Structure 1
Amino acid sequence: MTEQTAPTLTRGGTGAGGPNETTPDRTRARRRRWWLEVGWKYIVAVAIIIYAAFPLIYTLSAALNPRGSLSAATGLFSDITFSNFAALSSTAYWTWMGNSLVISIATSVGAVIMGACAAYAFSRFRFSGRRASLTGLLIIQMFPQALAFVAIFLMLLALGEVVPALGFNSKIGLICIYFGGVLGANTFLLYGFFNTIPIEIDESAKIDGASHAQIFWRLIMPLVTPILAVVALLSFIATYSEFLIARIVMTSEDNWTLAVGMYGWVSNQLQSNWGLFTAGAVLGAIPILILTLTLQRYIVGGLTSGAVKG
Structure 2
Amino acid sequence: MIGRKAGLTLSYILLIVIAICCIYPSLWVVFSSFRPGTALFSETMIPATWTLTHYKELFNSDTFMFGTWYWNTVKIAFLSMIFSTLLSTLCMYALSRFRFKGRQTVLSTLLILGMFPGFMSLIPVYILLMQLKLLNTHLAIVMVYAAGAVLFNGFVIKGFFDTIPRSLDESARIDGANHLQIFYRIMLPLARPILVYVALTTFTGAWVDFIFARLVLTSRDKWTLAVGMYDLVNSFQNSNFTMFAAGAVLIAVPITLLFVFLQKFLVHGLTSGASKG
- Quick check: TM above 0.5? yes
User: Unpaired segments of 5 or more residues in structure 1?
Assistant: 1-29, 161-166
Aligned to 2:18: 48
Match of 1:259 among 223, 226, 229: 226
Size of the aligned set, in residue pairs, is 273
Please report how far the alpha carbon of residue 111 of structure 1 lies from its aligned counterpart in structure 2 after TM superposition: 1.2
Distance 1:146 1:34, change over 3 A: closer
Name the structure where helix makes up a greater proportion of residues. 2
Cα deviation, 1:260-291, whole Å, max 9, x if unaligned, reads 11111101355742111110010111111111
> Please, which of 72, 80, 91 is the counterpart of residue 107 of structure 1?
80
Q: Distance in 2 between matches of 1:222 and 1:67?
A: 52
The offset of 1:87, in angstroms, is 1.0
**In 1, Cα distance between equivalents of 2:112 and 2:237:** 44
Note if 1:154 corresponds to 2:123.
no
Alignment check: 8 A CA contact 1:61 1:73 kept: no
Bigger relative contact order, structure 1 or 2, given CA contacts below 8 A and separation 6+?
Answer: 2
Match of 2:66 in 1: 93
CA displacement 1:28-65 (0-9 Å, x = unmatched) = xx7x4564143222211211110110110121132122
1:248-287 superposed matches below 5 A: 248-268=215-235, 272-287=239-254
Question: Matched residues in 1 for 2:143 and 2:189: separation?
Answer: 26
Structure possessing the higher radius of gyration over alpha carbons: 1
1:244 CA displacement = 0.8
- 1:217 partner letter: Y
Q: Please list the CA deviations of residues 98-141 of structure 1 after superposition, one character each: whole Å capped at 9, or x if unmatched.
A: 11111101111111111111111001111111111111111111
2:62 aligned with 1:76: no
State whether residues 265 and 274 of structure 1, in contact with CA within 8 Å, keep that contact through their aligned partners in structure 2: no
What TM-score comes out, normalization by structure 2 length?
0.94
Counterpart of 1:75, as a letter, is T
Structure 2 distance, partners of 1:69, 1:146, is 34
- Residues 49-94 of structure 1, C-alpha deviation per residue, up to 9 Å, x if partnerless? 1011011012113212222232x23531244322111211213212
RMSD value, Cα: 1.6
Which residue identity is paired with 1:168? L
Percent of paired sites with the same residue:
38
2:35 corresponds to? 65
Q: Which runs of structure 2 are paired with 1:135-284 in the superposition (5 Å)? A: 135-160=108-133, 167-268=134-235, 272-284=239-251
Deviation at 1:170, TM superposition (A): 0.9
* One-letter amino acid matched to 2:88: G
Read off the aligned partner of 2:70 and give its amino acid letter: M
Question: Is the 2:39–2:238 Cα contact (8 Å) retained in structure 1?
Answer: no
| 268, 273, 277: which one aligns with 1:306 | 273
CA contact (8 A) 1:265 1:272 kept: no
Q: CA deviation at 1:216?
A: 0.2
